[in-house]
Amino acid sequence: MSERESQREFDEVESDEFEIEPEDLGDLEAAMRDALKAVESAAAEGEVEKGIEAVSVGSGVTTKDLDSDGAGSEVSQLQAEVADLRDRSARTLADFDNFRKRSEKERDEDRRFANADVFRQLLPVIDNLERALSAEGSEQDLKVGVDLILRQIKDLLVSSGVERVAAMGSLFDPQFHEAVSQEEDPSVKDPTVIRELQSGFTMHGRLLRPAVVMVAMPAVDDEPDSDDGK
């Protein structure tokens, strides 16, 4: 492929619109650096002269048919094209580097403020707690106020995808339950939660904290099997 054909393909690729995923930036940047080194190496090793011969053969004219002025003109033109390609590659590489840095900065900002909405919804809860502490009233009024705040917190958790782990009366599940004690119960056929000591929660199906529970176990038959023939 001649240098001119390479230039045309480079221009076509450059004019196309495309999107780059952040995780691909490292590979693209490395590829651009390799391409730039290849262009510089080709120019240093005399690939320009080979390009002249390829252009001449492709046009039906041999290098012998070119006079010294024509050859010099072709060399100068190819050198200019190589320099232009080197400049384009360097500028494209710089653009990729700036885009990578900008993307990393945006990702850092997203991580820092990922929970901003949750905390924003939590602020009214703090306001209500402060009002409850400073308010004068009976014990019953305080209890009603705390109950309303608790309900507000639960609504906030639900809106964030946080749900309580089912415990009381459920079959024991080691993935969601943490048993701290157990007792035999002939009325159950499988390990069953009979008391919840601490609530467990999941977020979008992923466990945040297991429920701490007491478990009822099926009764074990301690009578030894009778010997055969006795």
Q: Based on the domain organization, do 136 and 171 belong to the same domain?
A: no
| Average pLDDT taken over every residue of the chain | 77
**C-alpha span between 155 and 216 (Å, rounded):** 32
Q: Based on the domain organization, do 9 and 76 belong to the same domain?
A: yes
Residue 115 DSSP label: T
Q: Which residue, 112, 145, 180, sits at the end of a domain? A: 112
Q: Based on the domain organization, do 62 and 129 belong to the same domain?
A: no
Q: Is 11 among the domain residues?
A: yes
Q: Based on the domain organization, do 192 and 130 belong to the same domain?
A: no
Q: Is 171 among the domain residues?
A: yes
Q: Based on the domain organization, do 62 and 91 belong to the same domain?
A: yes
Q: Based on the domain organization, do 137 and 194 belong to the same domain?
A: no
The owner of tokens 């949750």 is 118
Q: Is the pLDDT of residue 225 over 80?
A: no
Nearest to 154 by CA among 146, 163, 144, 145: 163
Q: Based on the domain organization, do 82 and 29 belong to the same domain?
A: yes
pLDDT at position 59 is 45
Q: Is 108 among the domain residues?
A: yes
pLDDT at position 46 is 53
Q: Rounded to 5 degrees, what are φ and ψ at 56? A: -65, -45
**C-alpha span between 167 and 198 (Å, rounded):** 10
Q: Is the pLDDT of residue 75 over 60?
A: yes
Per-residue pLDDT of 102-160, as tens digits, reads: 999 999 888 888 888 888 888 999 998 888 888 887 888 888 888 999 999 999 999 88
Helix residue spans in the chain (DSSP H): 3-15, 25-44, 47-58, 68-112, 116-134, 139-159
Instruction: Report the number of distinct structural domains present in the chain.
Output: 3
SS3 label, residue 24: helix
Q: Based on the domain organization, do 107 and 26 belong to the same domain?
A: yes
Q: Based on the domain organization, do 11 and 102 belong to the same domain?
A: yes
φ/ψ bin of 93: left (φ > 0), alpha (ψ from -120 to 50), beta (otherwise): alpha
Question: Is residue 167 classed exposed, middle or buried when 0-12, 13-18 and 19+ CB atoms within 10 A define those classes?
Answer: buried
Q: Based on the domain organization, do 46 and 105 belong to the same domain?
A: yes
Output the six-digit token pair for 54: 């390829």
**C-alpha span between 13 and 47 (Å, rounded):** 23
Output the six-digit token pair for 76: 């100068």
**C-alpha span between 65 and 60 (Å, rounded):** 10
The structure's pTM equals 0.52
Per-residue pLDDT of 30-61, as tens digits, reads: 666 676 666 666 555 555 455 545 444 444 44
pLDDT at position 69 is 56
Half-sphere exposure of 5 (CA within 13 A, CB side): 7
Q: Is 54 among the domain residues?
A: yes
- CATH number of the domain bearing residue 214: 2.30.22.10
Q: Is 229 among the domain residues?
A: no
Q: Based on the domain organization, do 87 and 167 belong to the same domain?
A: no
Q: Is 230 among the domain residues?
A: no
Q: Is 228 among the domain residues?
A: no
Q: Based on the domain organization, do 134 and 156 belong to the same domain?
A: yes
**C-alpha span between 106 and 99 (Å, rounded):** 10
Q: Is 226 among the domain residues?
A: no
> 10: domain range?
3-112
